[in-house]
Each structure stands twice: as C-alpha cells, then as structure tokens.
Amino acid sequence: MPELQRKEVTLNGKKLSYFDEGPGEEEAVIFLHGWGDSKERYPRLIGKVDKRFRIIIPDMPGHGFSEKIDSTSLGDYVNLLGQFVRHLGLKTVNIAGFSMGGALSLMFTIQYPELVDKVVIWESSADFKGTKRMQPFRMTFKVLDKYPQIRGTVKKVITSRLVNKLITAIGGKGMGESIKKADEDVLIKLALETSQVDIQKDLKSVEKEVMLIAGRHFDVHVAKRKMKEMEKILPNGLFKEVPGAQHYARNRENVFDEIVEFFVK
C-alpha cells in the first residue's frame, strides 16, 4: 500500500499525530495502540479496514510523533480522545484498542457512550490490578519511578542496538523503535497507572456490543480468564480466541480480519 501521510491536530496547545485513511464519512474506526507502541506499526490494519471504513489511528500523547501533555494519566487521555473525536466532526465511532489501548477504549466507552457504536478489546483487561502476571511489570516501573537516577542507564540498555533487535524480534517490526521514541516519563507513569486499572465494576453499564479478543497461547500480560470474566459481566460481550492475538505475536493478520468482520456486521 502507498506510504501513509501523517496528520496533526493541536489540542490544548499540544500536537497529536494521527493517520486518517479511507472513504467513509459515516462509518469510522478509531484504533488505540498499546503502551510504548505507535500508529506506525499498524499500516496493515489500515489496508484491511479503509476499503469499508474511515480508519483513524492516533499516537497517544508522549508516543510516536505526538507531544506529551501536561498531565499524564489515562483519564486525561480519555478526555483528549473525546476532544479529538469531536474535532474530526464524527457523531459516533467504532473503537478498538490493544493492551493499554483496550483499557482506554473501555474507559472512553464508559465516559462517552453517546460517541461509541461498537468496541473491540484486544488482549486487554478491565482488571490489570488483579492480574498476577502484571506484578513484575509493576515492580520494575515502581523502581524506575522511585530511583530516577538509574533511568539513564536503563534507557541506554533498552535503546542499544542488540536489545532493540531483541525487542523487535519479540514484539514485531517497529516495536523497538516505538519504545525508543516514546517519552521516558510518560512510559513510567502510564505503566504504573495501567497496571493498577480496575474498572470491572463499571462494565455492567456498557450496553454497546463488545468483542474481546485473546490469543490461543499464553500471554505475558493478560490472563484469558480475566477476559472471560469481562464477557460475563458485559451485557453484550463476546469473547473470541484468535490465533496470533497474544502480546508480541509477529503475525496479526487474523486479528485484523476479526476486527473488520465484527465492525461490518
């Protein structure tokens, strides 16, 4: 597919970078990437969706080509997304999110139900706080938050050529570069907050159709059991196991196909 053109909008004095492709004016999909990620890694999703929908993928503040905002919290990101949707002149959107982006998608739907049609949650949770496998992730960033003097050393290791190649090998093409480009303080704050997310009690209020996508194999961050719990609580939840959906899977074509088909129905 042709090279995508980055677009920018200034909201609250800060630049937000995004892709906006496809012919649809009525039907739009907003896709939210995960922690340390960026829109640059999802051109194949755009290629699948933009024949039927308008597909919009923003870089979250402090990620990719978007500037960080004055207050970094998931709540601030949700409010910014509300402004973004209205700025684009969209009455409603379908929203899909991966990992941290999935939690943001749920929070956005809870806060702005009038702006949402359907929702896809991909390898995410409404209860990261109660997910035991998130504990090492949480503890790592607690240390980095408490001892800022070691961040420089850690960053040098993470951004070294060898580790960058390793992250890319595990997380797929572009993941190493995405983490390298993201703002250090933003990553730490969001890692700590995302690992404490617990909005399970609010799921009953979500009346939208929600598809929950998990991989068939073990996932390092998300427990499949947690996603099945969400399916039971959500009034219109649908859990689906999809090959290659887990974090750090290299081939995500199956996931992209499922997202498109769900929104088309």
Q: What pLDDT score does 79 carry?
A: 96
Residue 247 is given by DSSP the state T
Residue-range domains of the chain with CATH: 7-127+199-264 (3.40.50.1820)
| Mean pLDDT computed over every residue of the chain | 86
Calculate the alpha carbon distances from 111 to 26, 205, 235 in Å.
22, 10, 17
Closest C-alpha to 104, from 205, 193, 15: 193
Calculate the alpha carbon distances from 149 to 180, 187, 191 in Å.
18, 16, 18
Calculate the alpha carbon distances from 162 to 165, 176, 250 in Å.
5, 10, 19
pLDDT tens across 111-126, in order?
Answer: 999 999 999 999 999 9
3-state helix, strand, coil in the chain (%, to 5): 45, 20, 35
Using CB atoms within 10 A of its CB, is residue 30 exposed (0-12), middle (13-18) or buried (19+)?
buried
Q: Tell me the whole-structure pTM to 2 decimals.
A: 0.89
Low pLDDT (below 70) residues in the chain: 1-3, 24-26, 50, 154-176, 249-251
Burial call 45-58: b when 16+ CB within 10 Å, e when fewer: bbebbbeebbbbbb
Q: What pLDDT score does 53 carry?
A: 85
Please report, as a single letter, which amino acid is at residue 19: F
Q: What pLDDT score does 150 carry?
A: 79
Q: What pLDDT score does 96 carry?
A: 96
